[in-house]
Amino acid sequence: MKICILTIATNKYIQFVERLYNDIEKNFLDGHEINCLLLTDHEVETSDNVRVHYIDHEPWPMPTLKRYNYFLKEKDFILEHDYCFYLDADMRIDAPVGDEILGDLVGTMHPYQSLMSSHNQSFDRNPESLAYVPYDQETVTYYAGGFNGGRTDKFMEMSETIASRVNHDLGRGVVALWHDESHMNRYFIDNPPTLSLNPNYCFAEEFIGAENYPYTEPKIIALKKNHNELRS
């Protein structure tokens, strides 16, 4: 099958891409045809399986908030594939990730938010945003924005909806609490993922070796970093 990997790396985040792509080649969906779509503001070398779409770098949080708008600009290319997955640039793939992640619509449980009660999870509680989740809304879990995907038609359907909601919010001067992740979680409440991956697939690096943490076999690791320095 053909798999498309989506990654955004503007400004200083470009430093993570080479390592991520090496990890993908070594550990991600072996046996399938993998093509990477990199959305960046940098001039980078391409290869037969790396396509680059140039975007302008904007102040935080616009590079992540607008991710679904960016994906729509490459809709035709993405739909040439059977599945697509979004990976944050600052991820490390430490163990083989195989066909167990293939599903129609795939979400990954947040490494710490998913362990909280739904009342305490960081859904957007602002009724002015289309990402709004009221406290009495029934939810299953809170999903991480760093790794998600599915069949390309299902993923692009989600992208269309979230991009429209983000643009509507921005037109009224509203930014959701956790940006695109808030909108994704709202979407997943209304359209539950057919496959929910546990936090081993978006494992916070600072939790490696932590006592009493219930997940102990990290596959995809969100690297510990200085967010303010990277976003400056």
Give the pLDDT confidence of 81-121 residue by residue, as tens digits. Answer: 999 999 999 999 999 999 999 999 999 999 999 999 988 99
Predicted model pTM: 0.96
Tokens of 205: 């690096």
Predicted confidence at residue 56, as pLDDT, reads 94
Q: What are residue 6's DSSP bridge partners?
A: 37, 86
CATH code assigned to 2-231: 3.90.550.10
3-state secondary structure of 124: strand
Q: Which residues of 175-214 are buried (b: 16+ CB within 10 A; e: fewer)?
A: bbbbbbbbbbbbbbeeeebebbbbbbbbbbbebeeeeeee
The tokens 């940006």 sit on which residue? 179
C-alpha 11: how far from chain center: 18
pLDDT in tens, 132-180: 999 999 999 999 999 999 999 999 999 999 999 999 999 999 999 999 9
